[in-house]
Structure 1
Amino acid sequence: MSRVAVLGEPRLWIGVLICMVVTFVLINVRKLQPNADENYGRLDYSLGLLKQEKERALCLVMTSRGSLSTKARVVINTWARHCTKVIFISSETDSQFPIEGVRVDVSREYLTAKTMQAFRYIYENHFDDADWFMKADDDTYIILENLRYFLTSQNKSEPVFFGHHFKSIVKQGFYSGGAGYVLSKEALRRYGEKGHDPKLCRPDGAGEDVAFGRCMENLGVRTVNTTDASGGADSIVFAPG
Protein backbone atom coordinates (compact mmCIF):
# COMPACT_ATOMS: atom_id res chain seq x y z
CA MET A 1 0.00 0.00 0.00
CA SER A 2 2.80 2.34 0.88
CA ARG A 3 4.61 1.51 -2.42
CA VAL A 4 1.52 2.63 -4.42
CA ALA A 5 1.34 5.86 -2.46
CA VAL A 6 5.04 6.56 -3.05
CA LEU A 7 4.75 5.84 -6.76
CA GLY A 8 1.70 8.09 -6.97
CA GLU A 9 3.45 11.19 -5.59
CA PRO A 10 5.71 11.89 -8.61
CA ARG A 11 2.71 11.66 -10.93
CA LEU A 12 0.83 14.15 -8.79
CA TRP A 13 3.70 16.65 -8.70
CA ILE A 14 4.33 16.27 -12.44
CA GLY A 15 0.69 17.16 -13.06
CA VAL A 16 0.91 20.18 -10.79
CA LEU A 17 4.10 21.40 -12.51
CA ILE A 18 2.53 21.01 -15.96
CA CYS A 19 -0.47 23.10 -14.85
CA MET A 20 1.81 25.79 -13.45
CA VAL A 21 3.89 25.95 -16.67
CA VAL A 22 0.78 26.19 -18.86
CA THR A 23 -0.69 28.93 -16.63
CA PHE A 24 2.59 30.89 -16.71
CA VAL A 25 2.79 30.69 -20.51
CA LEU A 26 -0.82 31.77 -20.97
CA ILE A 27 -0.39 34.76 -18.63
CA ASN A 28 2.74 35.99 -20.39
CA VAL A 29 1.32 35.45 -23.87
CA ARG A 30 -1.68 37.53 -22.80
CA LYS A 31 0.66 40.29 -21.60
CA LEU A 32 2.49 40.29 -24.93
CA GLN A 33 -0.69 40.59 -26.97
CA PRO A 34 -1.60 44.24 -27.74
CA ASN A 35 -4.70 45.68 -26.20
CA ALA A 36 -6.41 47.47 -29.08
CA ASP A 37 -8.12 50.11 -26.98
CA GLU A 38 -5.08 50.78 -24.80
CA ASN A 39 -2.69 51.06 -27.74
CA TYR A 40 -5.08 53.26 -29.65
CA GLY A 41 -5.18 55.65 -26.72
CA ARG A 42 -1.41 55.70 -26.45
CA LEU A 43 -0.98 56.15 -30.18
CA ASP A 44 -3.51 58.94 -30.29
CA TYR A 45 -1.87 60.70 -27.34
CA SER A 46 1.61 60.36 -28.84
CA LEU A 47 0.51 61.65 -32.21
CA GLY A 48 -1.27 64.51 -30.48
CA LEU A 49 1.92 65.51 -28.70
CA LEU A 50 3.93 65.26 -31.92
CA LYS A 51 1.36 67.34 -33.73
CA GLN A 52 1.42 69.97 -30.98
CA GLU A 53 5.23 70.07 -31.14
CA LYS A 54 4.97 71.17 -34.77
CA GLU A 55 3.00 74.27 -33.80
CA ARG A 56 5.83 76.76 -33.34
CA ALA A 57 4.71 79.56 -31.04
CA LEU A 58 6.71 82.72 -30.42
CA CYS A 59 5.79 84.43 -27.15
CA LEU A 60 6.05 88.21 -27.11
CA VAL A 61 5.92 89.43 -23.51
CA MET A 62 5.43 93.12 -22.73
CA THR A 63 7.25 94.24 -19.60
CA SER A 64 9.19 97.14 -18.07
CA ARG A 65 12.44 97.60 -16.20
CA GLY A 66 10.67 97.76 -12.83
CA SER A 67 9.13 94.32 -13.38
CA LEU A 68 12.19 92.42 -14.60
CA SER A 69 13.13 90.94 -11.23
CA THR A 70 9.54 90.15 -10.26
CA LYS A 71 6.83 89.54 -12.86
CA ALA A 72 9.10 88.96 -15.84
CA ARG A 73 11.32 86.62 -13.83
CA VAL A 74 8.30 84.50 -12.89
CA VAL A 75 7.19 84.35 -16.53
CA ILE A 76 10.58 83.21 -17.81
CA ASN A 77 10.80 80.56 -15.09
CA THR A 78 7.30 79.14 -15.68
CA TRP A 79 5.10 79.15 -18.78
CA ALA A 80 7.49 80.96 -21.14
CA ARG A 81 9.81 77.94 -21.00
CA HIS A 82 7.29 76.11 -23.18
CA CYS A 83 7.37 78.69 -25.98
CA THR A 84 9.33 77.92 -29.15
CA LYS A 85 10.95 81.31 -28.64
CA VAL A 86 10.28 84.01 -26.06
CA ILE A 87 11.06 87.70 -26.45
CA PHE A 88 10.52 90.32 -23.76
CA ILE A 89 9.78 93.84 -24.95
CA SER A 90 10.37 96.97 -22.89
CA SER A 91 11.04 100.64 -23.50
CA GLU A 92 14.70 99.98 -22.67
CA THR A 93 17.16 97.10 -22.71
CA ASP A 94 18.86 95.41 -19.78
CA SER A 95 22.16 93.54 -20.03
CA GLN A 96 21.11 91.16 -17.24
CA PHE A 97 17.88 90.08 -18.92
CA PRO A 98 16.94 88.76 -22.42
CA ILE A 99 14.96 91.81 -23.46
CA GLU A 100 14.51 93.90 -26.59
CA GLY A 101 14.00 97.65 -26.29
CA VAL A 102 11.56 99.76 -28.31
CA ARG A 103 11.78 103.54 -28.11
CA VAL A 104 8.50 104.48 -26.46
CA ASP A 105 7.48 105.88 -23.08
CA VAL A 106 6.70 103.36 -20.33
CA SER A 107 3.28 104.78 -19.40
CA ARG A 108 0.03 103.04 -20.39
CA GLU A 109 -1.00 105.83 -22.77
CA TYR A 110 1.83 104.70 -25.05
CA LEU A 111 0.92 101.01 -24.89
CA THR A 112 -0.47 101.10 -28.43
CA ALA A 113 2.84 102.41 -29.78
CA LYS A 114 4.74 99.83 -27.76
CA THR A 115 2.60 96.99 -29.13
CA MET A 116 2.71 98.21 -32.72
CA GLN A 117 6.48 98.61 -32.60
CA ALA A 118 6.87 95.23 -30.91
CA PHE A 119 5.02 93.42 -33.69
CA ARG A 120 7.01 95.42 -36.24
CA TYR A 121 10.20 94.23 -34.56
CA ILE A 122 9.01 90.60 -34.58
CA TYR A 123 8.06 90.79 -38.25
CA GLU A 124 11.42 92.22 -39.26
CA ASN A 125 13.58 89.98 -37.08
CA HIS A 126 11.73 86.77 -36.18
CA PHE A 127 9.11 86.14 -38.85
CA ASP A 128 10.65 82.79 -39.85
CA ASP A 129 11.13 81.59 -36.26
CA ALA A 130 7.51 80.62 -35.64
CA ASP A 131 4.09 79.95 -37.15
CA TRP A 132 2.05 81.67 -34.44
CA PHE A 133 2.86 84.87 -32.57
CA MET A 134 1.37 85.50 -29.15
CA LYS A 135 1.39 88.84 -27.38
CA ALA A 136 1.03 88.72 -23.58
CA ASP A 137 1.76 90.94 -20.59
CA ASP A 138 4.12 90.06 -17.75
CA ASP A 139 1.13 89.38 -15.47
CA THR A 140 -0.51 86.97 -17.92
CA TYR A 141 -0.32 83.20 -17.45
CA ILE A 142 -0.53 80.94 -20.51
CA ILE A 143 -0.89 77.16 -20.58
CA LEU A 144 1.11 76.56 -23.76
CA GLU A 145 0.10 72.91 -24.05
CA ASN A 146 -3.56 73.93 -24.31
CA LEU A 147 -2.75 76.74 -26.72
CA ARG A 148 -0.77 74.44 -28.98
CA TYR A 149 -3.56 71.86 -28.87
CA PHE A 150 -6.02 74.51 -30.03
CA LEU A 151 -3.65 75.69 -32.76
CA THR A 152 -3.48 72.21 -34.28
CA SER A 153 -7.03 72.80 -35.53
CA GLN A 154 -6.12 76.15 -37.10
CA ASN A 155 -4.30 77.16 -40.28
CA LYS A 156 -1.30 79.48 -39.95
CA SER A 157 -1.78 80.53 -43.60
CA GLU A 158 -5.21 82.01 -42.84
CA PRO A 159 -5.48 85.69 -41.79
CA VAL A 160 -6.81 85.03 -38.27
CA PHE A 161 -6.11 85.91 -34.65
CA PHE A 162 -7.45 84.69 -31.31
CA GLY A 163 -8.00 85.84 -27.74
CA HIS A 164 -10.62 86.89 -25.19
CA HIS A 165 -13.30 88.42 -27.41
CA PHE A 166 -15.17 91.64 -26.67
CA LYS A 167 -18.07 92.22 -29.06
CA SER A 168 -18.03 96.00 -29.08
CA ILE A 169 -16.44 99.15 -30.54
CA VAL A 170 -14.84 97.34 -33.50
CA LYS A 171 -17.24 95.81 -36.03
CA GLN A 172 -15.92 92.26 -35.63
CA GLY A 173 -14.98 92.89 -32.01
CA PHE A 174 -11.50 92.94 -30.48
CA TYR A 175 -9.38 90.86 -28.13
CA SER A 176 -8.34 91.81 -24.62
CA GLY A 177 -4.76 93.00 -24.41
CA GLY A 178 -4.50 91.84 -20.80
CA ALA A 179 -5.45 88.24 -21.60
CA GLY A 180 -3.20 88.28 -24.66
CA TYR A 181 -3.87 87.41 -28.28
CA VAL A 182 -2.33 85.19 -30.95
CA LEU A 183 -1.65 86.09 -34.58
CA SER A 184 -1.26 83.59 -37.39
CA LYS A 185 1.78 83.87 -39.64
CA GLU A 186 -0.42 85.35 -42.37
CA ALA A 187 -1.85 87.92 -39.95
CA LEU A 188 1.66 89.03 -38.98
CA ARG A 189 2.70 89.13 -42.62
CA ARG A 190 -0.17 91.48 -43.44
CA TYR A 191 0.71 93.67 -40.51
CA GLY A 192 4.36 93.74 -41.51
CA GLU A 193 3.59 94.69 -45.11
CA LYS A 194 0.75 97.19 -44.60
CA GLY A 195 0.52 97.98 -40.89
CA HIS A 196 2.77 101.02 -41.22
CA ASP A 197 -0.07 102.86 -43.00
CA PRO A 198 -1.67 105.10 -40.31
CA LYS A 199 -4.98 104.94 -42.20
CA LEU A 200 -5.07 101.21 -41.50
CA CYS A 201 -3.27 100.94 -38.17
CA ARG A 202 -3.12 103.81 -35.70
CA PRO A 203 0.51 104.02 -34.52
CA ASP A 204 -0.21 105.45 -31.06
CA GLY A 205 -2.88 106.46 -28.55
CA ALA A 206 -4.87 104.93 -25.71
CA GLY A 207 -6.80 101.66 -25.92
CA GLU A 208 -4.10 99.34 -27.29
CA ASP A 209 -6.35 96.28 -27.67
CA VAL A 210 -9.09 98.26 -29.43
CA ALA A 211 -6.55 99.96 -31.72
CA PHE A 212 -4.93 96.66 -32.59
CA GLY A 213 -8.30 94.99 -33.15
CA ARG A 214 -9.29 97.75 -35.55
CA CYS A 215 -5.91 97.45 -37.27
CA MET A 216 -6.45 93.72 -37.80
CA GLU A 217 -9.94 94.30 -39.16
CA ASN A 218 -8.62 96.89 -41.63
CA LEU A 219 -6.01 94.40 -42.78
CA GLY A 220 -8.64 91.71 -43.38
CA VAL A 221 -7.59 89.60 -40.39
CA ARG A 222 -10.56 87.76 -38.89
CA THR A 223 -11.51 87.03 -35.30
CA VAL A 224 -12.26 83.36 -34.56
CA ASN A 225 -14.53 81.69 -32.02
CA THR A 226 -12.25 80.06 -29.43
CA THR A 227 -14.83 78.71 -26.98
CA ASP A 228 -14.61 75.01 -26.18
CA ALA A 229 -17.24 72.32 -26.76
CA SER A 230 -19.11 73.29 -23.59
CA GLY A 231 -19.11 77.00 -24.45
CA GLY A 232 -16.35 77.89 -21.99
CA ALA A 233 -13.80 80.56 -22.79
CA ASP A 234 -10.28 79.45 -23.70
CA SER A 235 -8.87 82.86 -22.89
CA ILE A 236 -9.91 84.71 -19.71
CA VAL A 237 -9.21 88.35 -19.01
CA PHE A 238 -10.46 88.52 -15.43
CA ALA A 239 -8.52 87.27 -12.40
CA PRO A 240 -9.92 84.05 -10.86
CA GLY A 241 -11.77 84.17 -7.58
Structure 2
Amino acid sequence: MTSPRRVVFFLFLVLIFFLFVILFYNINGIERRPPKTSLKHGLDPLYEENRVLCMIPYDYYNPNTAKYVKRTWGKHCNVLLFVSGDVDDELEPYVPVINSTDTWTLVQRGLMHAYRFYADQVDWFLRVEPSSFVVVENLRYMIGQRNYLPSQPIYFGYELENIVTHKPFVHHQSGYVISREALRRYTNASKDPENRECQHWQGYTEGLDIFRCLNHVNVTIAESRDELGNETFSPIAMDHHFLDGYNNIPWLHNLTYHKVPETTVPLSERAISFRVAYPPQMYDYYYFVYGMRIFGTPMQNTIEFRP
Protein backbone atom coordinates (compact mmCIF):
# COMPACT_ATOMS: atom_id res chain seq x y z
CA MET A 1 0.00 0.00 0.00
CA THR A 2 1.50 3.32 -1.09
CA SER A 3 2.02 6.16 1.36
CA PRO A 4 -0.92 8.31 0.13
CA ARG A 5 -3.23 5.32 0.39
CA ARG A 6 -2.05 4.67 3.94
CA VAL A 7 -2.81 8.25 4.87
CA VAL A 8 -6.29 8.04 3.39
CA PHE A 9 -6.92 4.73 5.09
CA PHE A 10 -5.71 6.11 8.43
CA LEU A 11 -7.96 9.17 8.09
CA PHE A 12 -10.86 6.89 7.24
CA LEU A 13 -10.28 4.87 10.43
CA VAL A 14 -10.05 8.06 12.48
CA LEU A 15 -13.37 9.26 10.98
CA ILE A 16 -15.06 5.95 11.79
CA PHE A 17 -13.76 6.08 15.37
CA PHE A 18 -14.88 9.70 15.75
CA LEU A 19 -18.38 8.88 14.51
CA PHE A 20 -18.54 5.89 16.85
CA VAL A 21 -17.61 8.06 19.87
CA ILE A 22 -20.27 10.64 18.94
CA LEU A 23 -22.91 7.95 18.52
CA PHE A 24 -21.97 6.33 21.85
CA TYR A 25 -22.33 9.54 23.86
CA ASN A 26 -25.52 10.54 22.11
CA ILE A 27 -27.14 7.22 22.95
CA ASN A 28 -26.04 7.46 26.58
CA GLY A 29 -27.19 11.06 26.74
CA ILE A 30 -30.63 10.05 25.50
CA GLU A 31 -30.82 7.22 28.02
CA ARG A 32 -29.75 9.42 30.93
CA ARG A 33 -31.97 12.35 30.04
CA PRO A 34 -35.13 12.54 32.20
CA PRO A 35 -37.96 11.00 30.20
CA LYS A 36 -40.57 13.34 28.84
CA THR A 37 -43.94 12.76 30.38
CA SER A 38 -46.69 11.45 28.14
CA LEU A 39 -49.31 12.90 30.47
CA LYS A 40 -51.51 15.68 29.23
CA HIS A 41 -51.12 17.84 32.33
CA GLY A 42 -47.82 18.21 34.16
CA LEU A 43 -46.30 15.15 35.75
CA ASP A 44 -49.31 13.60 37.48
CA PRO A 45 -48.53 9.86 37.33
CA LEU A 46 -52.16 9.02 38.12
CA TYR A 47 -53.68 11.05 35.28
CA GLU A 48 -54.53 7.96 33.21
CA GLU A 49 -54.92 5.57 36.15
CA ASN A 50 -57.69 7.48 37.95
CA ARG A 51 -59.52 9.36 35.21
CA VAL A 52 -61.80 12.12 36.44
CA LEU A 53 -64.70 13.91 34.76
CA CYS A 54 -65.39 17.29 36.35
CA MET A 55 -68.99 18.43 35.93
CA ILE A 56 -69.81 22.09 36.51
CA PRO A 57 -73.47 23.20 36.57
CA TYR A 58 -73.83 26.96 36.10
CA ASP A 59 -76.44 29.66 35.54
CA TYR A 60 -76.20 30.73 31.90
CA TYR A 61 -77.16 34.26 32.92
CA ASN A 62 -73.85 34.43 34.80
CA PRO A 63 -71.26 32.27 33.02
CA ASN A 64 -68.15 34.16 34.14
CA THR A 65 -67.53 32.13 37.29
CA ALA A 66 -67.53 28.87 35.31
CA LYS A 67 -65.07 30.42 32.86
CA TYR A 68 -62.55 30.93 35.67
CA VAL A 69 -62.74 27.18 36.27
CA LYS A 70 -61.97 26.39 32.64
CA ARG A 71 -59.01 28.80 32.59
CA THR A 72 -57.46 27.42 35.78
CA TRP A 73 -57.89 24.12 37.61
CA GLY A 74 -60.34 22.66 35.07
CA LYS A 75 -57.36 22.03 32.77
CA HIS A 76 -56.34 19.18 35.04
CA CYS A 77 -59.51 17.11 34.63
CA ASN A 78 -59.53 14.29 32.11
CA VAL A 79 -62.91 15.60 30.93
CA LEU A 80 -64.37 19.01 31.80
CA LEU A 81 -68.14 19.15 31.30
CA PHE A 82 -70.41 22.17 31.78
CA VAL A 83 -74.15 21.97 32.33
CA SER A 84 -76.33 24.95 31.49
CA GLY A 85 -79.58 26.10 29.95
CA ASP A 86 -77.88 27.71 26.97
CA VAL A 87 -74.70 27.45 24.94
CA ASP A 88 -71.62 29.54 25.64
CA ASP A 89 -68.82 29.78 23.09
CA GLU A 90 -66.07 29.24 25.67
CA LEU A 91 -67.73 26.66 27.90
CA GLU A 92 -67.60 23.62 25.64
CA PRO A 93 -68.44 20.80 25.79
CA TYR A 94 -71.68 21.43 27.59
CA VAL A 95 -74.94 19.66 28.40
CA PRO A 96 -77.93 21.61 27.07
CA VAL A 97 -80.79 21.94 29.52
CA ILE A 98 -83.13 24.27 27.68
CA ASN A 99 -84.56 27.25 29.57
CA SER A 100 -83.57 26.00 33.00
CA THR A 101 -81.53 27.53 35.78
CA ASP A 102 -82.75 25.06 38.41
CA THR A 103 -79.68 23.46 39.95
CA TRP A 104 -81.35 20.09 40.57
CA THR A 105 -82.42 19.84 36.94
CA LEU A 106 -78.93 20.77 35.75
CA VAL A 107 -77.26 18.23 38.02
CA GLN A 108 -79.62 15.36 37.27
CA ARG A 109 -79.45 15.87 33.49
CA GLY A 110 -75.73 16.43 33.69
CA LEU A 111 -74.99 13.24 35.61
CA MET A 112 -77.09 11.13 33.27
CA HIS A 113 -75.44 12.76 30.23
CA ALA A 114 -71.98 12.21 31.73
CA TYR A 115 -72.58 8.51 32.20
CA ARG A 116 -74.12 8.05 28.77
CA PHE A 117 -71.32 9.72 26.82
CA TYR A 118 -68.22 9.36 29.00
CA ALA A 119 -68.57 6.14 31.02
CA ASP A 120 -66.00 4.43 28.80
CA GLN A 121 -63.54 7.33 29.06
CA VAL A 122 -63.41 8.08 32.80
CA ASP A 123 -63.57 6.27 36.13
CA TRP A 124 -64.82 8.95 38.53
CA PHE A 125 -67.36 11.76 38.23
CA LEU A 126 -66.82 14.93 40.24
CA ARG A 127 -69.79 17.27 40.58
CA VAL A 128 -68.62 20.63 41.89
CA GLU A 129 -69.79 24.23 42.13
CA PRO A 130 -68.37 26.78 39.68
CA SER A 131 -67.24 28.77 42.74
CA SER A 132 -64.97 25.94 43.95
CA PHE A 133 -61.26 25.35 43.43
CA VAL A 134 -60.22 21.72 43.08
CA VAL A 135 -56.77 20.15 43.18
CA VAL A 136 -57.53 17.19 40.94
CA GLU A 137 -54.12 15.60 41.51
CA ASN A 138 -54.93 15.26 45.22
CA LEU A 139 -58.24 13.63 44.35
CA ARG A 140 -56.50 11.03 42.21
CA TYR A 141 -53.95 10.49 44.98
CA MET A 142 -56.62 9.93 47.64
CA ILE A 143 -58.46 7.45 45.41
CA GLY A 144 -55.22 5.55 44.89
CA GLN A 145 -54.22 5.62 48.56
CA ARG A 146 -57.56 4.21 49.66
CA ASN A 147 -57.59 1.67 46.83
CA TYR A 148 -61.01 2.79 45.67
CA LEU A 149 -62.17 1.22 42.42
CA PRO A 150 -64.65 2.62 39.87
CA SER A 151 -66.44 -0.73 40.00
CA GLN A 152 -67.38 -0.13 43.65
CA PRO A 153 -70.81 1.48 44.29
CA ILE A 154 -69.47 4.42 46.34
CA TYR A 155 -69.46 8.18 46.47
CA PHE A 156 -67.79 10.64 48.85
CA GLY A 157 -67.28 14.26 49.90
CA TYR A 158 -67.73 16.42 53.01
CA GLU A 159 -70.28 14.76 55.29
CA LEU A 160 -73.13 16.49 57.11
CA GLU A 161 -75.57 14.94 59.57
CA ASN A 162 -79.22 14.42 58.68
CA ILE A 163 -81.04 15.97 61.64
CA VAL A 164 -83.89 13.47 61.29
CA THR A 165 -82.05 10.18 60.84
CA HIS A 166 -78.70 11.30 62.32
CA LYS A 167 -76.99 9.53 59.44
CA PRO A 168 -74.38 11.17 57.21
CA PHE A 169 -75.01 12.57 53.75
CA VAL A 170 -72.60 14.36 51.42
CA HIS A 171 -72.76 18.14 51.24
CA HIS A 172 -73.21 19.07 47.57
CA GLN A 173 -71.68 22.55 47.83
CA SER A 174 -68.34 21.05 48.80
CA GLY A 175 -68.38 18.87 45.70
CA TYR A 176 -68.80 15.12 45.63
CA VAL A 177 -67.31 12.24 43.66
CA ILE A 178 -69.30 9.31 42.27
CA SER A 179 -67.77 6.07 41.02
CA ARG A 180 -68.67 4.76 37.58
CA GLU A 181 -70.70 1.90 39.06
CA ALA A 182 -72.56 4.23 41.43
CA LEU A 183 -73.43 6.56 38.57
CA ARG A 184 -74.63 3.63 36.47
CA ARG A 185 -77.07 2.71 39.22
CA TYR A 186 -78.14 6.32 39.68
CA THR A 187 -78.74 6.77 35.96
CA ASN A 188 -80.84 3.64 35.62
CA ALA A 189 -82.93 4.54 38.66
CA SER A 190 -83.44 8.15 37.54
CA LYS A 191 -84.83 7.03 34.18
CA ASP A 192 -87.81 5.46 35.92
CA PRO A 193 -90.49 8.14 36.42
CA GLU A 194 -92.20 5.87 38.95
CA ASN A 195 -89.12 5.80 41.16
CA ARG A 196 -89.98 8.49 43.67
CA GLU A 197 -86.73 8.02 45.59
CA CYS A 198 -84.74 9.49 42.69
CA GLN A 199 -86.90 12.56 42.09
CA HIS A 200 -86.54 16.01 43.62
CA TRP A 201 -88.54 16.46 46.81
CA GLN A 202 -89.81 19.95 47.51
CA GLY A 203 -87.83 21.57 50.31
CA TYR A 204 -84.94 19.10 50.12
CA THR A 205 -81.41 20.11 49.21
CA GLU A 206 -79.46 18.46 46.41
CA GLY A 207 -77.26 16.64 48.89
CA LEU A 208 -80.27 14.96 50.53
CA ASP A 209 -81.87 14.16 47.17
CA ILE A 210 -78.70 12.55 45.81
CA PHE A 211 -78.18 10.61 49.03
CA ARG A 212 -81.75 9.29 49.03
CA CYS A 213 -81.47 8.03 45.45
CA LEU A 214 -78.00 6.53 45.84
CA ASN A 215 -78.95 4.89 49.12
CA HIS A 216 -82.00 3.41 47.37
CA VAL A 217 -79.72 1.66 44.84
CA ASN A 218 -77.26 0.49 47.54
CA VAL A 219 -74.53 3.05 46.96
CA THR A 220 -72.61 3.80 50.15
CA ILE A 221 -70.63 6.80 51.38
CA ALA A 222 -66.88 6.17 51.37
CA GLU A 223 -64.31 7.88 53.60
CA SER A 224 -62.94 11.11 52.15
CA ARG A 225 -60.80 12.27 55.08
CA ASP A 226 -57.06 11.69 55.10
CA GLU A 227 -55.19 9.21 57.30
CA LEU A 228 -55.15 11.75 60.16
CA GLY A 229 -58.90 12.30 60.03
CA ASN A 230 -58.61 15.75 58.44
CA GLU A 231 -61.09 16.89 55.82
CA THR A 232 -60.13 16.98 52.14
CA PHE A 233 -63.35 18.68 50.98
CA SER A 234 -63.92 22.09 52.58
CA PRO A 235 -67.52 23.35 52.85
CA ILE A 236 -66.55 27.01 53.27
CA ALA A 237 -64.32 29.62 51.65
CA MET A 238 -60.76 29.98 52.91
CA ASP A 239 -61.29 33.40 54.46
CA HIS A 240 -64.15 32.01 56.56
CA HIS A 241 -62.12 28.95 57.39
CA PHE A 242 -59.13 30.78 58.84
CA LEU A 243 -60.98 33.76 60.35
CA ASP A 244 -64.23 32.22 61.58
CA GLY A 245 -64.01 28.45 61.60
CA TYR A 246 -67.07 27.04 63.35
CA ASN A 247 -67.51 30.10 65.53
CA ASN A 248 -69.59 32.28 63.20
CA ILE A 249 -71.02 29.48 61.05
CA PRO A 250 -73.51 27.75 63.36
CA TRP A 251 -74.99 25.51 60.68
CA LEU A 252 -71.58 23.99 60.01
CA HIS A 253 -70.83 23.52 63.70
CA ASN A 254 -74.19 21.87 64.30
CA LEU A 255 -74.46 19.77 61.15
CA THR A 256 -70.93 18.54 60.48
CA TYR A 257 -70.98 14.76 60.86
CA HIS A 258 -67.41 14.31 62.08
CA LYS A 259 -67.37 16.40 65.26
CA VAL A 260 -63.96 17.67 66.43
CA PRO A 261 -62.82 19.67 69.48
CA GLU A 262 -61.16 22.31 67.30
CA THR A 263 -62.91 25.59 66.51
CA THR A 264 -62.34 25.21 62.80
CA VAL A 265 -62.62 22.49 60.18
CA PRO A 266 -59.40 20.42 60.32
CA LEU A 267 -58.12 20.60 56.75
CA SER A 268 -55.84 18.00 55.21
CA GLU A 269 -52.43 18.88 53.80
CA ARG A 270 -53.69 17.20 50.65
CA ALA A 271 -56.91 19.19 50.37
CA ILE A 272 -59.02 18.46 47.32
CA SER A 273 -61.80 21.03 47.13
CA PHE A 274 -62.56 24.36 48.77
CA ARG A 275 -64.85 27.28 48.11
CA VAL A 276 -63.70 30.58 46.60
CA ALA A 277 -65.52 33.64 47.94
CA TYR A 278 -64.43 35.91 45.07
CA PRO A 279 -64.21 33.76 41.90
CA PRO A 280 -61.45 35.82 40.15
CA GLN A 281 -59.21 34.69 43.01
CA MET A 282 -58.99 31.34 41.23
CA TYR A 283 -56.13 32.87 39.25
CA ASP A 284 -54.33 33.52 42.55
CA TYR A 285 -54.96 30.02 43.86
CA TYR A 286 -53.87 28.51 40.57
CA TYR A 287 -50.55 30.33 40.72
CA PHE A 288 -49.88 29.38 44.34
CA VAL A 289 -50.81 25.73 43.80
CA TYR A 290 -49.19 25.11 40.41
CA GLY A 291 -46.87 27.99 39.58
CA MET A 292 -44.93 29.14 42.64
CA ARG A 293 -41.77 27.39 43.84
CA ILE A 294 -40.46 27.66 47.40
CA PHE A 295 -36.73 28.00 48.00
CA GLY A 296 -35.29 25.00 49.81
CA THR A 297 -37.77 22.50 48.43
CA PRO A 298 -36.76 19.95 45.77
CA MET A 299 -37.00 21.34 42.26
CA GLN A 300 -39.84 19.85 40.29
CA ASN A 301 -41.04 20.27 36.76
CA THR A 302 -44.21 22.34 36.93
CA ILE A 303 -46.75 23.29 34.35
CA GLU A 304 -46.45 26.54 32.48
CA PHE A 305 -48.66 29.07 34.21
CA ARG A 306 -51.04 30.72 31.79
CA PRO A 307 -54.40 31.87 33.20
Tell which structure's C-alpha radius of gyration is larger.
1
CA distance in 2, matches of 1:124, 1:147: 23
Structure-2 residue corresponding to 1:115: 107
User: How many residue pairs are counted as aligned between the two chains?
Assistant: 190
Given that 2:57 and 2:103 are in contact with CA atoms closer than 8 Å, whether structure 1 keeps it comes out as no
Greater fraction helix: 1
Cα distance, 1:208–1:214 mapped onto 2, change above 3 Å: same
Structure 1 position 233 matched with structure 2 position 231: yes
Match of 1:97 in 2: 91
Q: Which residue is 1:137 aligned to?
A: 129
Contact 2:52 2:122 in 1 (8 A): yes
Given residue 237 of structure 1, which amino acid in structure 2 is its aligned partner? P
| Aligned partner (choices 157, 160, 178) of residue 163 of structure 1 | 157
Structure 1 residue 103, shift from structure 2 partner: 3.2
Kindly state the Cα deviation for residue 172 of structure 1 after the two structures are TM-superposed: 4.3
Amino acid at match of 1:142: V
Whole-angstrom distance in 1 between the partners of 2:158 and 2:85: 26
CA distance in 2, matches of 1:229, 1:84: 26
User: Which of 192, 205, 208 in structure 1 is aligned with 2:206?
Assistant: 208
Measure, in 2, the Cα distance between the counterparts of 1:128 and 1:104. 29
Q: C-alpha offsets along residues 43-67 of structure 1, whole Å, 9 cap, x if unaligned?
A: xxxxx94345410000001112233
Partner of 1:64: 59
Compute the displacement of 1:196 (Å): 2.4
Structure 1 stretch displaced more, 200-209 or 86-95: 200-209
Matches of 1:95 and 1:218, distance apart in 2: 38
Question: Within 5 Å, which residues of 2 pair with 1:163-182?
Answer: 163-168=157-162, 169=164, 172-182=167-177
Q: Deviations over 1:37-92 (max 9, x none)?
A: xxxxxxxxxxx943454100000011122332x21111001111000000010122
Residues 1:104 and 1:218: Cα distance change in structure 2 (over 3 Å): farther
- For 2:165 and 2:126, the matched residues in 1 are separated by 21
8 Å Cα contact 1:112-1:204 kept in structure 2: no
Q: Which moved more, 1:176-185 or 1:194-203?
A: 194-203
TM-score by length of 2: 0.58
Q: Displacement, 1:115?
A: 1.2
Measure, in 2, the Cα distance between the counterparts of 1:172 and 1:50.
36
* Percent pairwise identity: 25
C-alpha distance in structure 2 between counterparts of 1:65 and 1:132, whole Å: 25
In 2: Cα distance, 1:94 partner to 1:104 partner: 14
CA RMSD of aligned residues (A): 2.0
Q: Which stretches of structure 1, 4 residues or more, deviate above 3 A after TM superposition?
A: 169-172, 203-206
Report the Cα distance in structure 2 between the residues aligned to 1:57 and 1:103, rounded to whole angstroms.
Answer: 26
Summarize the Cα distance change of 1:51–1:83 in structure 2 as closer, same or farther, 3 Å threshold.
closer
Q: 1:120 Cα shift?
A: 1.2
d(CA) in 1 for partners of 2:178, 2:152: 10
Deviates more, 1:72-81 or 1:48-57: 48-57
Q: 1:111 to 1:134 in 2, by over 3 A?
A: same
Map Cα deviations across residues 132-184 of structure 1 (whole Å, 9 max, x no partner).
00001110111101001011121111100011111215664211111110000
Name 1:36's counterpart in structure 2: none
Indicate conservation of the 8 Å contact 2:84/2:100, yes or no. no
Which structure 2 residues correspond to residues 35-74 of structure 1 after superposition, within 5 A? 49-68=44-63, 70-74=64-68
* In 1: Cα distance, 2:170 partner to 2:236 partner: 13
Describe the SS at the equivalent of 1:183: strand
